[in-house]
Amino acid sequence: MPDTKVYLLDGGTLVLDGFHIWWNKGPGGEVRFPVYSVLVDHPQGKFLIDTGYDYDHVQKVLPFEKPQQTEQQTIPGALKLLGLEPKDIDVLFNSHFHFDHVGGNKFFPDVKKICHKDEMPQAANCQSFEVLGYSDLAFSTEVAEARGMTDQLDAGQTAGNTSFEFVEGDVELAPGVTLIYTPGHTVGHYSLLVEFDTRRPLLLTLDAAYTRKNYENDINAGFHIDPVAGVESMRRLKKIEEDKNAEVLFSHDPESFKEYRTGVNFYG
C-alpha cells in the first residue's frame, strides 16, 4: 500500500503586529508571516486541510495585514504545481473558520466538507472581538445570511454546496490521520496528527500555536476565545509530541517555515 504524503500548499504571507502574534508578550512591530494549507494524500483519498486566504477579501477588509500572494500561492495555483485541480480533492476539512483558513473554500463546491460542530454557530454569531477573524464568510451561505453579509457570496454558492458535516472531540479522518481537538484559539479549533509507515509522525499545530515561540512558552495569539483553554491545548500537543516522537509544524512561523517542505517537496 502506498504510504501517506503530506504537502504544504504555500498561500502567501500576511502582516501582524508582534503583540498580536505573541499576546501580551511581543515584541511589537510588523511581522510578515506565512499562510499555508495542508494536503494529505492518503491511500483512502486526498484530504485538504484549510484553504488559505482570499487576496481580494484581505485587501478589502483587512488591508493592514498587507497580503502578498502570487498566482501560484492561490489554492488552484498551489494544487496545479502538484498536477492537481480542486476537483481532485475528496474531503475538505477546515481547522477553524478564520479568514486565512477558509478563503479558498469557494473552489470546492462539490467536495465533502467537515468542521467542528461548534465552529459554525460561533462564526454565525461571534463575539465582537472575533469579527475580524471571522470576516470572510463566503465559505457558508448559512453563516453569511446569519451575519447579514450575503454580498460576500459568489454566484453559485448555495446552502447545498456550502454545507458541512460536523464532528467533535478527536476524530480519525482516515487511518493515521487524526484531528486533535485543540480549543482556545477558537471554540472548535483542531490540530492535525499524521502518522506514516516509514517516517516519524507530523504534528501540525495549526493555529493552536502560530510559532515555535508561542508553543514553547504557552503564549496565545491575540486572536483567541479562551486563553486558558488555549494554553491547555498547547500543553496537550506537547504531550502528544513527546509520546509520538512527532515533528511539529507551526501555522504562521516565519523562521520555521523557511525549513518546511513546500511545493512539490512533501513529507512521507
**Shortest distance, position 99 Cβ to Zn ion, whole Å:** 8
**Part in contact with Zn ion (CB under 5 A); list of ranges 10-18, 70-78, 204-212, 239-247:** 204-212
Q: What is the 3-state secondary structure (H, E, C) of the chain?
A: CCCCEEEEEEEEEEEEEHHHHCCCCCCCCEEEEEEEEEEEEECCEEEEECCCCCHHHHHHHCHHHCCECCHHHCHHHHHHHCCCCHHHCCEEECCCCCHHHHCCHHHCCCCEEEEECCHHHHHHCCCHHHCCCCCCCCCCHHHHHHCCCHHHCCCCCCCCCCCCEEECCCEEEECCEEEEECCCCCCCCEEEEECCCCCCCEEEEECCCCCHHHHHCCCCCCCCCCHHHHHHHHHHHHHHHHHHCCEEEECCCHHHHCCCCECCCCEC
| Residue closer to Zn ion (CB basis): 46 or 98 | 98
**Part in contact with Zn ion (CB under 5 A); list of ranges 165-173, 191-199, 205-213, 254-262:** 205-213
**Shortest distance, position 207 Cβ to Zn ion, whole Å:** 4
| Residue closer to Zn ion (CB basis): 42 or 93 | 93
| Residue closer to Zn ion (CB basis): 84 or 115 | 115
**Shortest distance, position 203 Cβ to Zn ion, whole Å:** 17
| Residue closer to Zn ion (CB basis): 4 or 182 | 182
Is 189 a binder of Zn ion (CB under 5 A)? no
User: Could you give the angle at the alpha carbon of 148 between the alpha carbons of 146 and 154, nearest 5°?
Assistant: 95
Which of 10, 65, 207, 253 is the binder for Zn ion (CB under 5 A)? 207
Which of 42, 46, 57, 98 is the binder for Zn ion (CB under 5 A)? 98
**Shortest distance, position 214 Cβ to Zn ion, whole Å:** 12
Grid coordinates representing 233 are 491545548
* Locus of grid cell 500500500: 1
The residue annotated as part of the active site, out of 50, 100, 207, 253, is 100
**Part in contact with Zn ion (CB under 5 A); list of ranges 4-12, 79-87, 191-199, 201-209:** 201-209
**Part in contact with Zn ion (CB under 5 A); list of ranges 46-54, 64-72, 96-104, 136-144:** 96-104
Is 252 a binder of Zn ion (CB under 5 A)? no
239: phi then psi, degrees, rounded to nearest 5: -65, -45
**230, 217 contact by CB (below 8 A):** no
Q: Which residue is nearest to Zn ion (CB)?
A: 98
Total residues contacting Zn ion by CB under 5 A comes to: 2
| Residue closer to Zn ion (CB basis): 57 or 98 | 98
Cα–Cα distance for residue pair 125/241, rounded to 1 Å? 34
100 is catalytic: yes
**Shortest distance, position 124 Cβ to Zn ion, whole Å:** 17
**Shortest distance, position 234 Cβ to Zn ion, whole Å:** 14
Instruction: Catalog residues that contact Zn ion under the rule CB under 5 A.
Output: 98, 207
Residues acting as catalytic residues: 100
